[in-house]
A = this chain, B = another copy of it.
Amino acid sequence: MTVAETKTPAHAEAAWQILWELMLKQRTRFVEAVAQLDLTPVQAIVLRRLDPHRPTPMHEIADMLRCDASNVTGIVDRLEARGAVERRADPSDRRVKALVLTRSGRTLRRRALEKMGEPPPEIASLSRADLQTLHGILSRATSR
């Protein structure tokens, strides 16, 4: 071997480094925020994923979380126990159980979305110009 292959440009690594740092900080912030609604992080993520206007098959949740289906059973059990969601049999395919938000589940979801949508001080303190630029770059990054 002659020269080490720099697979990723230094600029990408530098930007990623800071982004990583920021994400790590947000992790604990997120946990604490949803805990105020008596939600665990995963419960909040699942709630966020549920469409208030469309029953959601459980396997879609497993796909999103990239976890085993049996894991979803437990998570949904707890959400159902607290009255946020209901399992509903899908008439067109009786294997699937689709999740439907209850009335209180919709309220809970809305409140959770509000909390998650609140930008952290790091972001909120940026200038308007920076925010617009950031938005543009991130859109480009995630849409590619």
B residues near A26, Cβ cutoff 8 Å: 23
Main secondary structure of the interface of A (DSSP, over half): helix
Query: Chain copies in the assembly?
Result: 2
B residues near A135, Cβ cutoff 8 Å: 11, 14-15, 18
Q: How far apart sit A26 and B124, CA to CA, in the bound complex (Å)?
A: 22
Q: Closest B-chain residue to A20, C-beta based?
A: B116
B residues near A20, Cβ cutoff 8 Å: 116-117
Q: How far apart sit A66 and B144, CA to CA, in the bound complex (Å)?
A: 36
Is A37 part of the contact surface with B, judged by Cβ < 8 Å?
no
Subset of 17 A-B contacts with CB under 8 Å: A9-B128, A12-B123, A13-B119, A15-B138, A16-B117, A16-B118, A16-B120, A18-B139, A21-B142, A22-B138, A23-B23, A24-B45, A31-B66, A125-B144, A126-B137, A126-B141, A130-B141
Seen from chain A, the residues whose Cβ lies within 8 Å of a Cβ on chain B are 8-9, 11-24, 26, 28, 31-32, 45, 65-66, 116-126, 128, 130-135, 137-142, 144
